[in-house]
Structure 1
Amino acid sequence: MRDADCVFCKIASGELPARIISETGNTIAFMDAFPVARGHSLVIPKGHYERMQEIPESENADLFEVVRRVVARVDEMGGSTLVALHNGRGSGQEVPHAHVHLIPRSEGDGAGPVHSMFGGAIQLGTDETFEIYDRLKG
């Protein structure tokens, strides 16, 4: 499955150039064209899926195996790596094609922990916590 207007589909098909780091039959990893850190890379399924839950199980396993292999190399750039997946436009996804960011991190880089993106933890009452828990555990 491919979307003719999708920049990541064009990279996966070879229609657009990219600095390919790793590639399998279902997955491709490449350097981000607009990096936020030296070594910032992306790992994508070659098929067009907007959200992670749309990726078939076998392709998802391949995707995260490539993430696992490439993250070791990205770690060498800064000492640690932020592994991030924005799942849908409301979460901050800019390209509507599932993709995993691998962003080198190091002490003092100014980016902070994930909680700093939201200004801290929210307060939940006991009833609300259990309601959310029941919905999440399925």
Structure 2
Amino acid sequence: MPSCLFCEIATGAVPAQLVLEEDDFVAFLDTRPVFKGHTLLVPRRHVVTLPDLPAELRDGFLASIQRLATALVEGIGAQGSFVAMNNTVSQSVAHLHCHVVPRTKGDGLRGFFWPRTKYADDAEAADYAARISRALG
């Protein structure tokens, strides 16, 4: 199998701002967030699309998404979240990943136009990761 960025993040070979580490899943901040706190959840096992996700991982995947959506509200003060997955089309990394994006009323997100922002520096990204991680318990 060719090198997979998300597999490398899941094993720790590539650094990332981790917010959740579980036996089957890992979540980390998106390096090109729609809004600060934008998190990606991936299975540790290489799975390309949602239809490929083994049945034994489905409930845990959804439970982790649910926990992340809650953590964005509790950890960084979001009012809600936007949760999305691409399958093949528009999937920038060929490894299943779920976007959990913090939302606030009037944040400017319209439809599926995803403007991107940046963290001021690594310290700001680390602060967001720590706040979300703390909210996860």
> Above 0.5 in TM-score?
yes
Q: After TM superposition, list the pairs within 5 Å mapping 1:60-99 onto structure 2.
A: 60-76=58-74, 77=76, 78-88=78-88, 90=89, 92-99=90-97
Structure 1 unaligned blocks of 5 or more: 118-138
Q: Alpha-carbon deviation of 1:31? A: 1.1
1:101 alignment counterpart: 99
Instruction: State the Cα RMSD in Å.
Output: 1.7
Gaps of 5+ in 2: 115-137
Distance 1:17 1:23 in 2: 13
- Would the alpha carbon gap of residues 84 and 55 (structure 1) be closer, same or farther in structure 2, given more than 3 Å must change? same
Percent identity of equivalent pairs: 31
Per-residue CA shift, 1:24-61, capped at 9, x if unaligned? 11111111112120110010001111110101111122
1:73-132 per-residue CA deviation (whole Å, 9 max, x = no partner) reads 1134320100011111x2x11111000001111111111245x78xxxxxxxxxxxxxxx
Contact 1:4 1:10 in 2 (8 A): no
Relative contact order, CA 8 A, sep 6+: which one is greater?
2
TM-score, reference length from structure 1:
0.74
